[in-house]
Amino acid sequence: MSTESIAWPSTPVESRSFVDRLHEWIATVDHKRLGILYMIYALVFLMIAGIEATVIRIQLIRPHNDFVSPQVFNRLFTMHGTTMIFFVIMPFLFGFANYLMPLMIGARDMAFPRLNAFSFWMTAFGGLLLYFSVVGANGLYGAGNAPDVGWFAYAPLTSRTFSIGHSTDFWTLALLVSGVGSIGTAVNIIATVLCLRCPGMTLAKMPLFAWLNLVMAGLVILCVSPLTAAQMMLVIDRYLGGHFFDTQAGGSAVIWMHFFWVFGHPEVYVLVLPAFAFASEIIPVFSRKPIFGYPVMVGATVAIGFISMSVWAHHMFTVGMSSAANNFFVISTMAIAVPTGIKIFNWLATMWGGKIEFKTPMLFCIAFLFQFLVAGLTGIMQGAAPFDWHLGNSYFVVAHFHYVIVGGILFCFFGAFYYWFPKMSGKMYSETLGKLHFWLFLIGFHLTFDFMHIPGLLGMPRRIYTYEPGRGWDTWNLIVTIGVFFQAAGILVFLGNLIWSYFRGKVAGNDPWDAWTLEWSTNSPPPVYNFASIPEVKSRRPLWDLKHPDDPDWEYE
Amino acid sequence: MSMDTLARPDGQTKKTIEMPAPTAWPIILAFGLTLVFAGLVTSSSVSLLGAILAMSGAVGWFRDVLPHEKHESVSAIKTISPVSTSRPRVAAVEWMTEELHRARLPLEVYPIRAGVKGGMAGSVAMAFLAVMYGIISGRGMWYAINVLAAGFFPGRHALAQIGTFQWDSLLIASVLHLLVSLSVGLLYGATLPMLPRHPILLGGLVAPILWSGLVHSFIELIDPLLNQQIDWLWFALSQVGFGIVAGIVVSRQQRVPTRQHLPFAVRAGFEVLARIDKKDGGEPR
């Protein structure tokens, strides 16, 4: 790769009217703009889902509370879960994959730019359709509103007997629509990684970010398709006289569980693999060392991809499966801890002996390491069927799950925001506000989710509307709710930082972190074509090779 | 996405790069499809409108890409922004010589077959100790085998048959035992070169005792009935027996230089690499 082949300025842009600018964004097929649209969309829904979570926690702050009605409470936890998984985390990961993938592999755009735009808009309209249920789901019965069947919508709750009106239909159709978008994006990511890598970038020289997103995209295709099929079957059950999930007519409610969790558990890895991708890029740069054990990290990623498709029924130990099934899913669940553990060891080994810089992205990644470890350990505990029989559907499960999604994934997403914000905006964020965000969110997270395990151990069921005093749950619930306000304050600081830094931040330059992957070789923000000349690379760290011509990586790879 | 180059009088080079043209058809198609679905729970007229929009979007999209994809030209003026670093010096560990610079540690490893041999030898030692326990304790030589497979046969460990021969238990226990032994043997092979001192003590005694303690701590939670059937002293002894035998067998194998620096295709035996010696001018020989 030569230096002069990669740095080109943007063409000067004359001022345009608001309508012209709006049209540019709506009609764009540029992967960077679509990536930013995904992220803004996810941030909006993060605020909505955060408000829902706050209301849920206010309701549970003390016994016999009636801050909201039971009906509203059911809708809140359904919408919170659905929104966070499908309309916050997934758009976040697709946004980052869209923005960064072509830049990291030295391409000008995604393989199918128009499909990319179509996929984003399907995802966006899916979210709008879900929230349209709040005003549009009353149906003929006047009894509907937002969906209230929980984010995994077990049968027979979803049957017309128990779910009159159209609230469940909005849930079904919204996920169906956004699922089409997800599959489109996954196809695009796979095609981009496999077909558009720059000269010299063999699969073994790809950034780990690309590897992890490649496996993630494969998982999306494998796991979203069954969910989409199940949603169609549910629509058929509800309106065309089907009996797929109607036990009394020869169907099976358990089949829905299988369909949902054959999506639902790989989905956790769909969400966490991009978080791993961020950690795998951020930790080496702020440790000033190459990633430890690249081939093993790739192998562990692929292993996670395979094993994650064989663990789904550990969500169903309490259903009453056969011993053989229980044993199989216990063993497979334990097995997936091995490649995941390898990754954690490798990140620690990357930091070991490095010159660690505790910038905001690194702080979030370090917190992620420890929190994800705890999340994994409680996951192994629940992966043992007898343990799960005791704690299934308790707040222990809720705490574990949020440890994964918030403590693992969301922390990495925040780290990624701070790390790539200078590239996307051309401006540096405020390090002071970044650290304030980190500490507020860290304190809030641990107040909420550490202490949430305890009422779970004491028998507090998930989704409970309120509870009797004197069961030993009162104080824990109070602490848990207080933590939510710290988290909310952290997120407000984060949003304020993004907005303030975008308008008032210092100019970042092309490579503020002295990093090693290709996106840092082009302008900040990158021009529409990314690279004037397609770069050539010789190693996994092409910018290291340029910065240290006397000691290049390619001599050792 | 092609590129044209134009020479400019000032010496700079202006390039025209073709990028996919912006288009509104994808959003129209997406909106149309969403309305088709939304109409199922609102009004058929919404679905009809959605179908019309979706059809328009699809036709418009096709016309965008067939017979040739629409592009827009984007111009760029070349300026050279050298890639630089504020840390030009590369830190090295003090004891590193030039030859050890960026060496893959450990320099020598055991071959995979050493781990296989160690695992198999350890499995025999462990099986011997387990059977000996059954005989000495009077519970029968099949006792340990049935206990190992008990997870697959719930309820069986509460019955008298746990001390008797069960072919299905033998089959499952054998597979489990061999698989785990093989895995641990391979682990020994991989980790022994990295244990600085007393590898047999660490791998043969300390690790098995820690492992036994770990299993003891959680087996009661997972399967209290199974926990009652286990004699923990003998359990730990059998682990130690495995560890010492596997460790000795592995450590007696010949070490080989690490091949981590070679491409995977070479390590897997798909390709043969000509030897390159930089001191001899870097020519393959």
- Chain B positions touching A333 (Cβ under 8 A) are none
**pLDDT at A134 (0 to 100):** 85
State which residue of chain B sits closest to A543, comparing Cα positions: B83
Do the Cβ atoms of A528 and B74 come within 8 Å?
A: yes
- Chain A positions touching B23 (Cβ under 8 A) are 27, 29, 114, 117
Do the Cβ atoms of B17 and A521 come within 8 Å?
A: no
**pLDDT at A4 (0 to 100):** 44
Alpha helices in A288-359 (DSSP H): 294-307, 323-351
**pLDDT at B214 (0 to 100):** 84
Would strands B3-7 and B13-20 be described as parallel, antiparallel, or unpaired?
antiparallel
CB < 8 Å from B in window 500-529 of A: 510-511, 514, 521, 523, 527-529
**pLDDT at A6 (0 to 100):** 46
The per-residue pLDDT for range B190-211, each reduced to its tens digit, is 888 877 677 788 888 888 888 8
On the CB side of B197, how many CA atoms lie within 13 Å of its CA? 0
How far from each other are the two terminal CA atoms of chain A, in whole angstroms?
16
Do the Cβ atoms of B22 and A27 come within 8 Å?
A: yes
Do the Cβ atoms of A8 and B77 come within 8 Å?
A: yes
Instruction: Tell me whether A342 touches chain B (CB under 8 Å).
Output: no
- Chain B positions touching A124 (Cβ under 8 A) are 30
State which residue of chain B sits closest to A126, comparing Cα positions: B34
**pLDDT at A9 (0 to 100):** 47
Name the band, by pLDDT with cuts 50, 70 and 90, for residue B95: low
Chain CA centroid to CA A214, Å = 15
**pLDDT at B279 (0 to 100):** 46
Do the Cβ atoms of B151 and A288 come within 8 Å?
A: no
**pLDDT at B90 (0 to 100):** 80
Do the Cβ atoms of A547 and B77 come within 8 Å?
A: no
Top pLDDT among B230 and B101 is at B230
This prediction's pTM: 0.86
Question: What whole-number percentage of chain B has pLDDT above 90?
Answer: 33
Nearest chain B CA: its distance from A554 CA (Å): 11
- Chain B positions touching A235 (Cβ under 8 A) are 40
ipTM of the shown complex? 0.91
Tokens of A317: 């130990």
Average pLDDT by stretches of 10, chain A with 557 residues = 45 71 94 96 96 97 95 94 96 96 95 96 96 75 75 91 88 95 97 96 94 97 94 92 91 94 94 97 95 93 94 92 88 91 94 94 97 94 89 94 96 97 96 97 97 95 94 96 97 96 94 94 92 91 92 84
**pLDDT at B196 (0 to 100):** 65
Nearest to B76 among A118, A170, A529 (CB): A529
- Do you know the residue count of chain B? 285
- Chain B positions touching A27 (Cβ under 8 A) are 22-24, 27
Do the Cβ atoms of B34 and A108 come within 8 Å?
A: no
* Interface-testing mutation among B47, B73, B81, B171, with chain A (most A C-beta atoms within 10 A): B81
| CB proximity list for A241: less than 8 A, separation 6 or greater | none
SS3 assignment, position A240: coil
Nearest to B24 among A26, A169, A239 (CB): A26
CA distances for B272 relative to A125, A295, B109, B264, angstroms: 54, 20, 20, 11
Do the Cβ atoms of A122 and B30 come within 8 Å?
A: yes
* Interface-testing mutation among A8, A26, A519, with chain B (most B C-beta atoms within 10 A): A8
Instruction: Tell me whether A546 touches chain B (CB under 8 Å).
Output: yes
Q: How many whole angstroms separate alpha carbon A189 and alpha carbon B265?
A: 26
Top pLDDT among B278 and A465 is at A465
Nearest chain A CA: its distance from B226 CA (Å): 12
CA distances for B244 relative to B122, B127, B231, angstroms: 8, 14, 20
Nearest to A114 among B20, B82, B153 (CB): B20
- Chain A positions touching B75 (Cβ under 8 A) are 11
Instruction: Tell me whether A139 touches chain B (CB under 8 Å).
Output: yes
The per-residue pLDDT for range B56-71, each reduced to its tens digit, is 999 999 999 988 889 9
Nearest chain A CA: its distance from B171 CA (Å): 15
Do the Cβ atoms of A511 and B154 come within 8 Å?
A: no
Angle at B212 between CA B238 and CA B185, to 5 degrees: 60
Instruction: Tell me whether A327 touches chain B (CB under 8 Å).
Output: yes
Q: Which domains does chain A have, with CATH numbers?
A: 31-222+266-555 (1.20.210.10)
Do the Cβ atoms of B42 and A514 come within 8 Å?
A: no
Interhelix angle B25-39/A167-195, nearest 10 degrees: 150
Do the Cβ atoms of A139 and B41 come within 8 Å?
A: yes
Q: How many whole angstroms separate alpha carbon B174 and alpha carbon A45?
A: 53
**pLDDT at A2 (0 to 100):** 44
Nearest to A546 among B17, B83, B264 (CB): B83
Name the band, by pLDDT with cuts 50, 70 and 90, for residue B124: very high
- Chain A positions touching B65 (Cβ under 8 A) are 114
- Chain A positions touching B3 (Cβ under 8 A) are 533
- Chain A positions touching B153 (Cβ under 8 A) are 323
Q: How many whole angstroms separate alpha carbon A471 and alpha carbon B82?
A: 66
CB pairs under 8 A between A and B: 149
Do the Cβ atoms of B261 and A556 come within 8 Å?
A: yes
CA distances for A87 relative to A41, A77, A230, A451, angstroms: 8, 15, 19, 27
**pLDDT at B78 (0 to 100):** 64
